[in-house]
Amino acid sequence: MHAEFLVASAEQTGLPTASFDVVTASQSWLYFDKQRIIPEVKRLLKSDGLLVTSHLCWLPRQDRIAQATEQLVLQHNPNWTGADWSGEIPLVPKWSEGQFRLHAMFVFDEAIPFTRESWRGRIRACRGVGATLGPAQTEAFDREHEALLASTTPEQFSILHRIDAHILRPV
């Protein structure tokens, strides 16, 4: 199989019209400019094409380790807007109204296993830490996170996550 790699804005790919059966966006849809991405996705999809958006998010209101981690993130980055997610998944995403119709969706919870080191890595990659804090701030956060985990968790533990996907057809 030949795979061609392309670097382009998702909102303006330059790819051929009606050339894709499926467009997928996992963990990324919230970052796109909806006024631009929706027409681009519709342009790219074949007449029977699908858009799939999916997410894998920890549940801080149900998981004490996730909650404690978020509190530490907020101490280092009080402007982080991703904390205290309710876990609510709408049947039909608001942004899709009038643009797509729901074909299918699913949502389920899963305890994802981590070690202290792998959870620290996951959180360093979080938009509230590595994406917004400088290197020195990220390192300081990580040291405190390491100490928090050492005092509150075994070496291996699980974090409760909610996994969801919406499978949509253009209207």
> What pLDDT is attached to residue 66?
99
Mean pLDDT for each 10-residue chunk of the chain (171 residues)? 92 97 97 98 98 98 99 98 97 97 98 99 97 97 99 99 99 97
Residue 161 pairs in a beta bridge with 58, 110
Q: What is the pLDDT of residue 92?
A: 97
Name beta bridge partners: 159.
Answer: 112
Hey, what domains does the chain have and what are their CATH numbers?
20-170 (3.40.50.150)
| Start-to-end CA span in the chain (Å) | 32
pLDDT given for residue 96 in this prediction: 98
**pLDDT for the residue 119:** 99
Size (the chain), residues: 171
Q: Which pLDDT value is given to residue 86?
A: 97
Q: Where are the alpha helices (DSSP H) in 31-100?
A: 34-44, 64-76
Q: What is the dihedral of CA 136, 150, 108, 130, to 10 degrees?
A: 0
Encoding tokens for residue 105? Answer: 């969706």
The owner of tokens 């280092």 is 76
Cα 152 from Cα 160, distance rounded (Å)? 16
